[in-house]
Amino acid sequence: MYKNKNIKRTELSELGEFGLIKRLTKDFKISNPSTLKGVGDDASVISHEGDEILVSTDLLVEGIHFDLTYTPLIHLGYKAAIVNFSDIAAMNGIPEQITVSIALSNRFPLEAVEELYEGINLACKKYKVDLVGGDTSSSVSGLFISVTVIGRANKDTITYRNGANVNDLIFVSGDLGAAYMGLLLLEREKQVFQADPEIQPELKGYEYILERQLKPEARTSVVKLLKEHQVIPTSMIDISDGLASEILHICDASEKGCCLYEEKIPVDATTVSMAEEFKIDPTTAALNGGEDYELLFTIKQQDFEKIKDLAEITPIGHITEADAGANLISRDGTFVQLIAQGWEAFKKNKE
Amino acid sequence: MYKNKNIKRTELSELGEFGLIKRLTKDFKISNPSTLKGVGDDASVISHEGDEILVSTDLLVEGIHFDLTYTPLIHLGYKAAIVNFSDIAAMNGIPEQITVSIALSNRFPLEAVEELYEGINLACKKYKVDLVGGDTSSSVSGLFISVTVIGRANKDTITYRNGANVNDLIFVSGDLGAAYMGLLLLEREKQVFQADPEIQPELKGYEYILERQLKPEARTSVVKLLKEHQVIPTSMIDISDGLASEILHICDASEKGCCLYEEKIPVDATTVSMAEEFKIDPTTAALNGGEDYELLFTIKQQDFEKIKDLAEITPIGHITEADAGANLISRDGTFVQLIAQGWEAFKKNKE
């Protein structure tokens, strides 16, 4: 679906590939001095002196990662950029450039693709990231978006997944589970709509969880905040697949265990009330829901004082020896072993 | 199609996404000191000091860019990497890292994907390029490959499309038109096979044009050769869409005209004989065929002496004032205006 159904429909074949690229990228402005050459040659040229370069890439596939019946293309473009920026933030870096490749069937007119790029451009402007290249192609069916992001980090503060040590404190930014509840709500309203197109979707009061699903943000602000307070995390990852899956990645890479406290996991009130409506434990949504794009990181105990008063982040547990395993202490004090039940890109296809 | 049809078929859903990535990347070795961290964290980490970084990306779509009925997956993987390396060479740079994202339907078993990655790995080994990241996903139908390459160039020798000056000499590496004739041959044999599956394809004697289509190379060797002979091209591009389209890109970007000599355009004997069989002018194949991945570049007249004896490159014309237009002088001395008739990714879909 795209925003304005009354506008002109221009077939992509009228423009040709070069015409399309020119049209789509004309509103993108360069904002980083390191971007020496953007779109328009065989490769973009990026200057970096002293710092390390971070590169990450993500692929979004129609019918697997998004459903166009309830995802406006402008939001899809925004999200496609954000999920990549989030990967750079997760290395304690700042995103600076992206390339965007799309393949789409000819059921999409130019206006639809422009709306998608409008969303990408909004994300680029907000995060001061430069679009420096890409490729566009037909597909036999469906829409595919492949984004690669290039970021920068100081070589002494890059944060990997494997640096967590015993007794390090585990922090998370923002709140968890909201994006997943937003998805469940959209899926429910889609079914209601399919059963009776006369019924208007009931989305009022749920703006927060819908925005978390449709228009997530990347926590580069947390990267800047940690720098400002002179804290270098010992390990970091972004929460794309759910808290349980992500903390297990840190534990695996660092060869450690962990102890999380259920009562400390930040969950928004809207998430809790929606979870109750769906008869889902809100903690389950936080642990396994995914797509929150918050940062999960560990810090040394002695750094706690520096950041304990920041509203943007919450301590939720600590790192243990590997043989203690990865556990959640529930509200009633029982130990629950953490298992990853997040998104499984290949299993979804078989449903 | 994949090479060995008798091997075990492992469903991708058995492995899950992380298992698949581990399996596919286990045979990739790191060969560049600038690759600090490859696959396995949120982003890869690349170190560059002083040089500029080049980034390019390409998307290959089943049914648009390749036909699996006659493209072995190992060759497809090789070519997907090569076409990106070629973009870096076209900037007078050397490729160092790639990311590979693929989306594929569950008609592909693990063994097919492994064969694709085997081809990518062959290209990586040959060109000493490191695989540093990627993403894998299901698709509802078809195979999509998105590759992003990161390269390095000295800031004083990076070559753009826009630096050609009047009287600069125009050179091309290798020979042209062969990849297109290879494609026509494969298309013909596919039709013969579809009409009668008992008939064996007639490919003997045409190994050269088939290899040019199925297993092209990137001319990083020419980049090194020019450096060795202390020649910095004034402009450069790689020939993905045919000589006519590419020289027009250089003329447009440089705001110049050009004069090419038909008799000087290098065309292999196999290309000529295949073209005759198809009743196509070999020059047309060279001008509009595409997918040769040779380098097209301009040099100052005074640099001619330094490289005139190199067998790998051929002078084919010179740059003129813009108002002279872009022309080909045919063998009989007539001026023919050059027009781009190369690949049109969006028109193909409508055929």
pLDDT in tens, A190-237: 888 888 888 777 778 899 999 999 999 999 999 999 999 999 999 999
| pTM for this prediction | 0.87
pLDDT of residue B60: 92
The one-letter amino acid code at B186 reads L
CA distance B319 to B165: 6
Q: How many CB atoms lie within 10 A of CB B30?
A: 16
Q: For residue A70, report the phi and psi dihedrals to the nearest 5 degrees.
A: -130, 5
Q: Cβ neighbours of residue B51 under 8 Å, at least 6 residues apart?
A: B152, B153, B154, B155
Cβ proximity of A47 and A97 under 8 Å: no
Compute the radius of gyration of chain B from its Cα atoms.
21
pLDDT of residue B346: 42
Q: Closest Cα to residue B333, out of B284, B275, B263, B283? A: B263
CB A98 within 8 A of CB A56: no
Residue A277 pLDDT exceeds 90: yes
Per-residue model confidence as pLDDT tens digits over A65-80: 899 988 899 999 999 9
User: What's the pLDDT band for B347 if we cut at 50, 70, 90?
Assistant: very low
Instruction: Write down the pLDDT at residue B17.
Output: 65
* Percent helix, percent strand, percent coil in chain B, to nearest 5: 35, 25, 40
Least confident of A24-38, A240-254, B334-348: B334-348
| C-alpha separations of A325 from A251, B31, B99 in Å | 9, 36, 33
Mean pLDDT over the full length of chain B: 88
Annotated domain spans of chain A: 12-153, 161-341
What was the pLDDT predicted at B345? 39
- Most B CBs within 10 Å: which of A47, A54, A57, A157, as the mutation test of the B interface? A57
- Please give the residue of chain B at the shortest CA–CA distance from A347: B13
Instruction: Name the B residues in 142-201 with CB < 8 Å from any A CB.
Output: 142, 144, 146, 148-151, 153, 155, 158, 160-162
CA distance A127 to A94: 9
pLDDT at A341 over 70: no
Judge whether residue A4 has pLDDT over 60.
Answer: no
Amino acid in position A253: A
Tokens representing residue B124 in the block:
């990586």
pLDDT at B172 over 70: yes
Q: Which of A43, A67, A61, A57 is nearest to A102 (CA)?
A: A61
Residues of B with Cβ-Cβ distance to A20 under 8 angstroms: 346
| Closest partner CB to A103 (pick from B12, B59, B99) | B59
- pLDDT tens digits, B82-133: 999 999 999 999 999 999 999 988 888 888 888 999 999 999 999 999 988 8
Q: What is the mean pLDDT of residues A104-119?
A: 87
Q: What count of CB pairs under 8 Å joins A to B? A: 255
Q: Does A19 touch chain B (CB under 8 A)?
A: no
Just give the CATH number of A161-341: 3.90.650.10
Centre a 10 Å sphere on the Cβ of residue B4 and count the other Cβ atoms it contains: 8
Superfamily of domain A12-153: PurM-like, N-terminal domain (3.30.1330.10)
Per-chain mean pLDDT for chain A? 88
Distance CA A253, CA A91 (A): 14
Interface of A with B in 21-80 (CB under 8 A): 36-37, 40-50, 52-65
**Mean pLDDT in residue range A132-154:** 88
Q: Does residue B344 surpass a pLDDT of 60? A: no
pLDDT band at A351 (very low <50, low <70, confident <90, very high): very low
Q: Which residues of A touch B134 (CB under 8 A)?
A: 57
CATH code for B169-348? 3.90.650.10
Shortest distance between the Cα of B26 and any Cα of chain A, in A, equals 16
CB neighbours of residue B173 within 10 Å: 25
Give residue B175's pLDDT band: very low, low, confident or very high (50, 70, 90): very high
Q: How far is CA B227 from the centre of its chain?
A: 21
* Residue B156, number of CB atoms within 10 A of its CB: 7
- pLDDT tens by residue, A42-66: 777 777 777 888 999 889 999 888 9
Half-sphere exposure of A201 (CA within 13 A, CB side): 16
d(CA B177, CA B270): 10
pLDDT at B229 over 50: yes
In this predicted model, what pLDDT tens digit does every residue of B285-303 receive, in sequence order? Answer: 999 998 999 999 999 999 9
